[in-house]
Amino acid sequence: MMKIVAFVPIRLNSKRVVNKNLKLLGDKPLMCYILDTLVKIKAIDEVYVYCSQEEIIKYLPERVKFLKRPEYLDRDETLGKEIYEEFVKTVNADIYMLAHTTSPFMKQTTVEDALDKIVNEGYDSAFSCEKIQTFTWFEGRPLNYDLKEVPRTQTIEPVYVETSAFFMFKHDIWAIHKQRIGFKPYLVQVDKIEGVDIDWPEDFEFAEKILETYQIYNR
């Protein structure tokens, strides 16, 4: 049996949205949305919050474990790979799932489908993304169409943009290659709601409106 571990890096000194992770979205802290989703998934053996400050423990949902991370990882300039490296060194697993609190509307079924692709269908990694099917440019040139043969929007080659909701990878993809996306990744397309990423105060306000209007989160 493969051991599957999910971890959610959290720091309490967020700057763009002050105290973002503990800020109430509806009736509970923002961070609890993704954590509540993860603990419902039977395939995941352990769910960790990876945080330097123990005061967060009292906010954690049942079955979520606290793992204290080194305080140097709380720097503004800390790179994601530093966090992944430290966690993978500390907790052994066959498959890791990195998730972020800033994507509160990620569905349980979306995560389960991605894990199934890795466990049963030969993919070595998976990540959430949005499909963009329009005219895109990069470094002064069209990225997905020919200027001499402009296609219809319906037939243009789509591009896919990573969202920050989650990345899944087998142990060796990180241990050997230091990559969170492997060589045979499964692209998990999410809709605009699941793809919400809360980085700025206006993003938080938008999430509040989604919660009020659509009530998409199943408690």
| CATH assignment at residue 199 | 3.90.550.10
Q: Please, which pLDDT band fits residue 12 given cuts at 50, 70 and 90?
A: confident
Would 155 be classed as within a structural domain? no
Mean pLDDT score of the chain, rounded to an integer?
Answer: 93
Query: By the 8 A CB rule, do 39 and 47 touch?
Result: yes
Question: How confident is the model over 40-77, as pLDDT tens digits?
Answer: 999 999 999 999 999 999 999 999 999 999 999 988 89
C-alpha torsion 94→165→88→171, nearest 10:
30
For a pLDDT cut of 70, what percent of the chain falls above it? 96
Q: How far is CA 134 from CA 45, 79, 95, 131, 205, in A?
A: 40, 31, 34, 10, 27
What is the model's pLDDT at position 71?
Answer: 92
Would 118 be classed as within a structural domain? yes
Whether the pLDDT of residue 182 is over 80: the answer is yes
Residue 8 forms beta bridges with which residues? 49
What is the model's pLDDT at position 164?
Answer: 87
What's the rounded mean pLDDT across residues 142-171? 94
Residue 153 in tokens: 């929007």
Domain total in the chain: 1
Lowest-pLDDT choice from 13-17, 70-74, 100-104: 13-17
What's the rounded mean pLDDT across residues 168-185? 97
Would 145 be classed as within a structural domain? no
Would 175 be classed as within a structural domain? yes
Q: Please, which pLDDT band fits residue 5 given cuts at 50, 70 and 90?
A: very high
Enter the DSSP assignment of 1.
-
Question: Domain range holding 199?
Answer: 4-128+162-214
Would 148 be classed as within a structural domain? no
Could you write out the DSSP letters of every residue in 65-86?
A: EEEE--GGGGSTT--HHHHHHH
What's the rounded mean pLDDT across residues 168-178? 97
What is the model's pLDDT at position 215?
Answer: 63
What is the model's pLDDT at position 217?
Answer: 46
Query: Maximum Cα–Cα distance for the chain, whole Å?
Result: 61
Whether the pLDDT of residue 16 is over 80: the answer is no
Residues ≥6 apart with Cβ < 8 Å to 196: 103, 104, 105, 203, 206, 207, 210
Enter the pTM of the model: 0.91
